[in-house]
Structure 1
Amino acid sequence: MAHPYSDLPSSAFWRHGVADAAADQLQDIHCPAFRLDEADCIATAGSCFAQHLGRALRDAGLTVLDGEPAPKGIAPDLAHRYGFGLYSGRYGNIYTARQMVQFLDEVAAGQPDPAHVWQRDGRYFDALRPGLEPNGLDSAQEVLAMRSSHLARVGATLRQADVFVFTLGLTEAWRCRATGRVYPTCPGVIAGSYDPELHEFVNFSYPQVQQDLIRLLERLQDFKAGMRLLLTVSPVPLTATASDSHVLPATQYSKATLRAAAGDMASAHEQVDYFPSYEIVTNPAARGRFYADDLRRVTDAGVATVMKAFLAAHGLNPADGRVRQVRTIADPVCEDAMLEAFGR
């Protein structure tokens, strides 16, 4: 008797699609809601894993916008250290959907909030991208002037973008109690100082993330009507959790929440797609080889497998000669990793 499972492809069955399949040969894992092509202007943002995707898209010959390129003559490793070329703007890692929405609101307003300047050893830091000036600046006024320029340049970039690629990284965050503004890292880790009267921990729930993603799409289309949103979830586990839970279930909660919200967002909106980079890296068939010895950093083989699958889904397979070999980033910039220094 025929039934709905009778004519399904082999990829719909665990044994054929996973257990008996090569973990690094998943070119049929995704059918895009829309395809990227050479006519698209693409903007990228998100957690540190998103840096790999930006490079792969550039290597594929696609137009990846960069509104704040490095000064001419600066060495590549120094440019990397100061946050140039990581994304389409010099905003550093944006780990949560709430942080992304708040940043877009600030870009639209064009006015930085003077309340979010941190200090360390007599130097001044932008609290909303504290790792991008490793030695700090001379004054709070200099921080705000640089941020004003940064907001203007990102706004101009977003008004050119046809597709916005955003990699969700975390549900956990620290925010200012007075303003609700979310920081990319806990005060005191890179700069500033933690004060429980001023700062609070938040672990965003599924409904909150879902609402933030809806707001994200709305904000993007305010910059350019019809802009599409391509979502991924970072496969990189939490370095540490402030949730009073073991870091393993805390990580699983975070990733499950983000994965569900991103998938539902893509199902509900034709302008939104979800690519399963998280699933590819955590695939049991890889038997752990897509993670380094610390079980956190994604190996070159894992990154390459994700990027090859992504490019193939969009008709940009490196094997056809149009795309150079997929390159990986040896050391992505990641503020979250700095928490490892506090582990005992």
Structure 2
Amino acid sequence: MPPNPYSKLPPRAFWRTAISEVHYAELADLWEPLALSRQDRIATAGSCFAQHIGNNLARRGAAFMDLEPPPPSLFASVADARRFGYRVYSCRYGNIYTARQLTQLFDEAFGRRNPQESVWQRDGRFFDALRPSVDPVGQASAEQVLMLRQAHLAKVREMFQTLNLFVFTFGLTEAWVSRTDGTAFPIAPGTICGEFDATRYEFQNFTYPEIAEDMGRFWSGLREINPRARLLMTVSPVPLTATASGEHVLVATTYSKSVLRAAAGDLARQLPDACYFPSYEIISSHPSRGMFYDPNLRTVNEFGVNYVMSHFFSGKLAQAFDASPEAAPAGDSELVCDEEALDRK
């Protein structure tokens, strides 16, 4: 056979040698691990699945940033602290499902944006509308909520100014936004708290161009205040809990994940010091035969999480961090997900 562009490609480039002839547990070379040291300050944000990466980084000895730890002796267990938004991400912002949420949080933290609506109510208590799940009992007044939000934003500023690597997991394209100023909320009003009013809120299913533009604007802003920052993007393999698009939830999930995967891949090629890790492909692609999902075919089981992490901590990262970390403390592996409120009947 005469030489052609495929003649000298490695085995990983061919389906037969990379997939068909290899047991799925023996897959290799799925990504080129980035260079990290134990001194690099790493922050995480995004959808629920991002919590697994943060937990594993911390247990393996990375300099995982936790800028809003729980007050000493306030909670009886890790699980209790996580229920109030502590030990979940690098700051206590709860789930950030969309690129629009991330961009707006960054702009607000640096005084570039002031959302017109940031307090919701429920049963006489007041909640932060932009992170409603981090305070299950709420506050006695709107003023207290706003005061706590300012303290939170100060920590978010510190995080962005001092991190070396920002890990962001894309979760959704769907969101509910304010008709007044376009504020994107992590959950629909009226689910965890607040009241739904169709004259005040509208459904938005973000498109590829909108997501790419949001992330590009966020990255430009971050590099402006922190030129040494790097970006690692992933896509959550967890399907949608529910969709407001009018489509079947399977079709809506496929659309959402396809758009997010395409955006993350192109951004990783276009943005300086940005890369992509294929957690989505490892868990959800058809060669895995769905074995990494729980019986509900939505949540990822512990075996799947561990398999993803074995690929993440490969190559250079395997040399820099512990290969076999200690087991997670009780309550540390249970994900905190705003989206699950959509399925409460």
TM-score of the aligned structures, taking structure 2 as reference length: 0.94
Q: Give the one of 286, 289, 292 matched to 1:287.
A: 289
Aligned to 1:17: 18
Q: Which moved more, 1:164-173 or 1:10-19?
A: 10-19
Amino acid at match of 1:199: Y
- In 2, Cα distance between equivalents of 1:305 and 1:117: 40
Q: What is the CA-CA distance between 1:231 and the residue it aligns to?
A: 0.4
Deviation at 1:222, TM superposition (A): 2.9
Q: For 2:182, which of 166, 180, 183 is the aligned residue?
A: 180
1:336 matches 2:339: yes
More displaced, 23-32 or 168-177? 23-32
**Cα drift, residue 159 of structure 1:** 1.2
Q: Deviations over 1:251-309 (max 9, x none)?
A: 01100101001100111123110000000001322211101111100011111111110
Identity score, percent: 45
Change in 2 beyond 3 A, CA 1:137/1:54: same
Structure-2 separation of matches of 1:258 and 1:101:
16
Q: Tell me, which stretches of 5 or more residues in structure 2 are unaligned?
A: none
| Whole-angstrom distance in 2 between the partners of 1:145 and 1:230 | 32
Cα gap change, 1:186 to 1:321, in 2 (>3 Å): closer
Shift of 1:314: 3.9
For 1:192, the equivalent position in structure 2 comes to 194
* Secondary structure at 2:166 match in 1: strand
Query: What residue number does 1:31 align with?
Result: 32
Letter in 1 for 2:45: A
Partner of 1:271: 273
Q: Give the superposition deviation at 1:4.
A: 1.5
Corresponding position of 2:203: 201
Q: Map of 1:202-281 to 2, 5 A cutoff?
A: 202-281=204-283
Q: Tell me the equivalent position of 1:167.
A: 169
How far is 1:111 from its partner? 7.8
Matched residue, 2:71: 71
Matched, 1:59 2:62: no
Q: State the distance in 2 between where 1:114 and 1:144 align.
A: 12
> How far off its partner does 1:221 sit?
1.5
Matching residue's letter, 1:219? G
After superposition, what is the alpha-carbon deviation per residue over 1:97-131, rounded to whole angstroms, capped at 9, x for unaligned?
01000000000018864622100010101000001
Matched residues in 1 for 2:49 and 2:315: separation?
A: 19
Equivalent residues, number? 340
Structure 2 vs 1, CA of residues 205 and 114 (structure 1 numbering), >3 Å: closer, same or farther?
A: closer
Inter-CA distance 331–94: structure 2 relative to 1 (3 Å threshold)? same
Decide whether the 8 Å contact of 1:30 with 1:313 is kept in 2: no
2: CA distance, partners of 1:142 / 1:282: 42
Task: Please state how far the C-alpha of 1:147 moved relative to its aligned partner.
Answer: 0.2
How big is the shift at 1:311?
0.7
Q: Offset at 1:42?
A: 0.8
Letter of the 2:64 counterpart: V
Q: Does 1:124 align with 2:126?
A: yes
Match of 2:317, SS?
Answer: coil
The residue type paired with residue 122 of structure 1 is: G
Q: How does 1:134-145 map to 2 (within 5 A)?
A: 134-145=136-147
Q: Unaligned stretches of 5+ in structure 1?
A: none
